[in-house]
Chains A and B, each alone.
Chain A
Amino acid sequence: MKTGFRLVAALCAGLILAGCWDGIVLTGLELVTAAAFDAAPAGAMRVTLSIVLPASLQSPTGGGTGASTNSPATATVSAEGGTLEEAVSALALQLPGHIFWGHTRVILIGAGLATRGIAPVVDFLMRSRATRLSTDMVVTRGLAASVLTASPAYRTPGSDALFDALRRRFVARAPVYEVAQSLVTPTSGILIPEVEVSQPSPPAGGPSGGGGSGTTGSSTTPTGFAVAGAGAFQGGRLRDWLTQSQVRGALWLLGRTLESVVRLDAPNGVVVSVKLTGARFNRDAIRLPGGEAAIQVQVDAQDALTQVDAGSPPLGSAKYLLLLSHLLDTRIRQQADAALSLARTDGVDFLGFGRLMAEYQPVFWQRVHTDWPATFPEVPVVLQVRSHVRTTGNLVNLP
């Protein structure tokens, strides 16, 4: 027993003598809420961080409670360096505290860097211990830093609800670890959402080509940014940009759903709005009767009719609902085809077909995986879409 006693005593003494190496006082944290990475001339890198200002934490009301209503202000700091880590350490010299990546919500990549290659950024984020691997990555057409500076939404920390609202608009989410997955398999591409500084545009809108239908009220958002589409990446490099509607089409093929509203122009001047409430997907690679390998995507979409805009459709009739479903099927098919043809012309497999082939047709994959970018546009795609209008809301149109 005495030995145990001595051990404990020695441990305590050791603890007190040792001091602490890793402890950081809370106020010594430079909380990074968002980070923007841009290409700088001559292969260098510019890092822009938005940091919570400690001074702004002191709420004017005094006590600790109720202060969450006024979110703290952030400042952006920026530095350049030969590599990413060099730039970050240059920033560390500018800042008094300890740069803390543990609460970073979004990583912005500038177009320049995206074309040059995002591998160093992903490597940095994966290697560091503090970052969350589920942090979202987005790309911007211009400089990422300018979007970061212009859009307070990225920089507002602490509001989970707000962030979830933002996240829902990222039509195709690209968390860091998924981007990293696509990097280690050179044949597969990935979609990274594209954001832009939102223009204070007049609330005219309307269904202009079905584009802005998903993001309700994004033009008047106070957050100051909008999702514009996505960038298609392969091997860590930006290959092409997708518009919002192409992204929507790609999502059908990727097997992901996005809450969206579709305007349908039915016969007899009827105009209705149908809302997608959920969908089941089945994606695999099959052998066609001719022995040829093909990708098969089955979509089973569930919709709700939420509004009748014009005309008086006979919603009590099963036949009519079937007609609406067919209209929806066609719409989905059109969107998907648009995305597919883009992928084929670019030769970028952001639809994950390579992985499907590897998973379901390993023998075929073994044969073609070395020149997949060349093979991929030739692979036939079987798309089966079935839509169901499940509900028509609280109003019944009885004959």
Chain B
Amino acid sequence: MTSRQALEQAVDILLVDLQQMAALETSLLWLLCENLPLSASPARLDLLRTLLEPNSDLGELRLPRTGAEVWRAYYLESMTDAQTLNEGLVAALSAERPVAAVASTRPAATYGQAVRGVLDGQVALLTHGSGGVLLLEARDMPKRKPTHPVLETVVRGPHEAFVEDLTTNVSLLRRRLKDPRLTFEAHTVGRLTQTDVRLCYIQGLTNTRVVAEARRRLRAVSTDMVLDSAYIEESLMDDPYSIFPQLDFTERPDIVTAGLCEGRFAILVDGSNAALVAPVTFWSFMQAADDYYQFFYAGTFLRLLRLAFALIALLMPAFYIAVTTFHQQMIPTALLLTLMRAHVGVPLPAVVEAFIMEISLEILREAALHLPDKLGTGLSVVGGLIIGQAVVAAGLVTWPVVAIVAITAIANFAIPRWGLALAVRLLRFSEMVAAAVFGLPGMLVATAMIMIHMVSLRSFGLPYLSPLAPMDIPGLGDAFVRSPHWSPRPRPRLLEPLWRMRTRPGHRPQPPAASGTRGRDPSP
């Protein structure tokens, strides 16, 4: 190695080191200045510029004032509205008596606040003499208009869904709930992403202990980034290992509003179009918004139907396996012969067949999720063909298993909330294994274990299976059935809401003649 080469190498290493040192220096400077109060000294004001230096789209305005005085403004070109900047700031401030024509102004106290404001799309205005920094609203960020919900569609009822923008979401809630006690508590989560999070609840209705617990857990969330409400959901759970969802996520503002009015709280996360609602119970996941928009008979019927579907989705393949391998005496003779006929020439036991079918169905489902719509139709044709015909023709799987798995899959789709549907999908496999080894007793043990887990589970202190266990008979009116809106419905008792009744008793509508006790006869 020549000395020249060695020198070059040394310079390279030194360069890298220097770059790293520069990076460290920037980081260190940020950490030091974050909580430093702003001050009027010119050197300190240059510090703001230094802190914002890494942003290549940093814009700087110099607004000459009387004398040597120059006001300066920093902003990010990519995030501010040029028109507001021109008319509201440059034109207005150049006038004799400067009045910034913007939506809001807010003084910043520290360097950190000033820099964050700029990064958030505001304009930082440095007025010379006062030494303060004003943050002026001039944001122009890409945002979606509220559209139809994607997951939770309804037949009747509002077709409006949350979007990724927090302020829009807050306004969607405010529009539905015009009570001064509705509170949006601001929190910031995520060291890097600095995501805005709003904890909302109704003061004087939601139990303060529940709110305090939510606040505590929200503050305890420790993470670098929060890209969606899902990121903090796992940190908020009572039992982080449980397979069951303990916070409801919904993209429907009406569901959140209903939750707030029941004495629950909601968490909105900037950048996420799904709000979290808690404390919830198992039954919350079995309810769809439609239940409340349909007539209550229909709502009740759908609810019971859905419960049956959930049971089918959980137990049906396991039951088929158990009955065909262990309890053949239970099958009616004619059906047994049909099943035996189907099994001639199929060498695999029922459990393996069921697993083949379930897994291939899962593959299809997963593949369909990641394909664009146009390819998706092709996939469904191929998948339908494979599942419907080829597997049977190849002698791998029998027709009854195909039917069972298909019914199970459809039943699984009928579970209204995605989180629970996923849990049921996973638990189905454990039921199948238990059924394959021990038949119905095995299924019983597996189900009992799930049951024990569910009764011991809590969501922010609310027992997961309430009002069924512990039993709360008035509360059952909103679990298995959907009682009419005029009926005297209490809020869930175990939520311990600060006032209990939603509707007062005695509001059942009736024709005027029927209220004869008033003694008023409409006819003369």
Contact of A23 among B325, B445, B456 (CB under 8 A): B325
Q: Which residues of B contact A20 (CB under 8 A)?
A: 325, 436-438
Report the separation of the CA atoms of residues A72 and B344 in the bound assembly, to the nearest whole angstrom. Answer: 13
Contacts A26-B350, A100-B328; A64 near B334 (Cβ below 8 A) = no
> Is the Cβ of A19 less than 8 Å from the Cβ of B437?
yes
Which one of B49-57, B92-100, B335-343, B459-467 is at the interface?
B335-343
- Within B218-261, which residues are at the interface with A (CB < 8 Å)? 239-242
> Is the Cβ of A15 less than 8 Å from the Cβ of B340?
no
> Is the Cβ of B329 less than 8 Å from the Cβ of A27?
no
Q: Which residues of B contact A25 (CB under 8 A)?
A: 325, 343, 349-350
> Is the Cβ of B333 less than 8 Å from the Cβ of A103?
yes
Contacts A20-B437, A27-B340; A130 near B334 (Cβ below 8 A) = no
The answer to whether B434 has its CB under 8 Å from any CB of chain A is yes
Tell me the nearest residue of chain B to A160, going by C-beta: B334
- Within A291-305, which residues are at the interface with B (CB < 8 Å)? none
Interface centre among B241, B329, B341, B452 (most CB of A within 10 A): B341
The answer to whether B141 has its CB under 8 Å from any CB of chain A is no
Tell me the nearest residue of chain B to A130, going by C-beta: B329
Contacts A2-B241, A19-B437, A23-B326; A103 near B336 (Cβ below 8 A) = yes
* Chain A: interface size category: 35 or more
> Is the Cβ of B340 less than 8 Å from the Cβ of A23?
no
> Is the Cβ of B242 less than 8 Å from the Cβ of A1?
yes
> Is the Cβ of B328 less than 8 Å from the Cβ of A26?
yes
- Within B322-366, which residues are at the interface with A (CB < 8 Å)? 324-326, 328-329, 332-334, 336-346, 349-350
Report the separation of the CA atoms of residues A72 and B324 in the bound assembly, to the nearest whole angstrom. Answer: 19
B375 to chain A minimum Cβ distance, whole angstroms, is 32
Tell me the nearest residue of chain B to A8, going by C-beta: B449
The answer to whether A54 has its CB under 8 Å from any CB of chain B is yes
Report the separation of the CA atoms of residues A12 and B334 in the bound assembly, to the nearest whole angstrom. Answer: 35
Number of interface residues of B (CB under 8 A): 41
Report the separation of the CA atoms of residues A105 and B333 in the bound assembly, to the nearest whole angstrom. Answer: 10
> Is the Cβ of A24 less than 8 Å from the Cβ of B328?
yes
> Is the Cβ of A23 less than 8 Å from the Cβ of B439?
yes
The answer to whether A57 has its CB under 8 Å from any CB of chain B is yes
Contacts A2-B241, A26-B324; A31 near B336 (Cβ below 8 A) = yes
- Interface secondary structure of B, over-half rule: helix
B354 to chain A minimum Cβ distance, whole angstroms, is 13
Report the separation of the CA atoms of residues A159 and B442 in the bound assembly, to the nearest whole angstrom. Answer: 32
> Is the Cβ of A12 less than 8 Å from the Cβ of B340?
no
Report the separation of the CA atoms of residues A2 and B434 in the bound assembly, to the nearest whole angstrom. Answer: 21
> Is the Cβ of B334 less than 8 Å from the Cβ of A159?
yes
> Is the Cβ of B241 less than 8 Å from the Cβ of A26?
no
Tell me the nearest residue of chain A to B453, going by C-beta: A4
Q: Which residues of A contact B336 (CB under 8 A)?
A: 26, 31, 103, 158
The answer to whether B433 has its CB under 8 Å from any CB of chain A is yes
> Is the Cβ of A15 less than 8 Å from the Cβ of B442?
yes
Q: Which residues of A contact B350 (CB under 8 A)?
A: 25-26
A129 to chain B minimum Cβ distance, whole angstroms, is 9
Tell me the nearest residue of chain B to A129, going by C-beta: B329
> Is the Cβ of A54 less than 8 Å from the Cβ of B340?
yes
Q: Which residues of A contact B344 (CB under 8 A)?
A: 27, 54-55, 57-58
The answer to whether A236 has its CB under 8 Å from any CB of chain B is no
Report the separation of the CA atoms of residues A22 and B441 in the bound assembly, to the nearest whole angstrom. Answer: 12
A12 to chain B minimum Cβ distance, whole angstroms, is 7
The answer to whether B195 has its CB under 8 Å from any CB of chain A is no
- Within B43-93, which residues are at the interface with A (CB < 8 Å)? none
> Is the Cβ of A103 less than 8 Å from the Cβ of B442?
no
> Is the Cβ of A23 less than 8 Å from the Cβ of B349?
yes
Contacts A1-B241, A12-B430; A26 near B340 (Cβ below 8 A) = yes
Given contacts A15-B442, A27-B340, A100-B328, 20 further A-B contacts (CB under 8 A): A1-B240, A1-B242, A16-B433, A20-B325, A23-B436, A23-B439, A24-B328, A25-B325, A26-B325, A26-B336, A27-B344, A29-B328, A31-B336, A54-B340, A64-B398, A64-B400, A100-B329, A102-B329, A130-B329, A160-B333
Query: Could you give 12 example pairs across A and B, Cβ below 8 Å?
Result: A4-B456, A12-B433, A16-B433, A23-B326, A24-B328, A31-B336, A52-B340, A57-B341, A58-B341, A63-B399, A67-B341, A68-B338
Q: Which residues of A contact B (CB under 8 A)?
A: 1-2, 4-5, 7-8, 11-12, 15-16, 18-20, 22-27, 29, 31, 52, 54-55, 57-59, 63-64, 67-68, 72, 100, 102-103, 105, 130, 132, 157-160
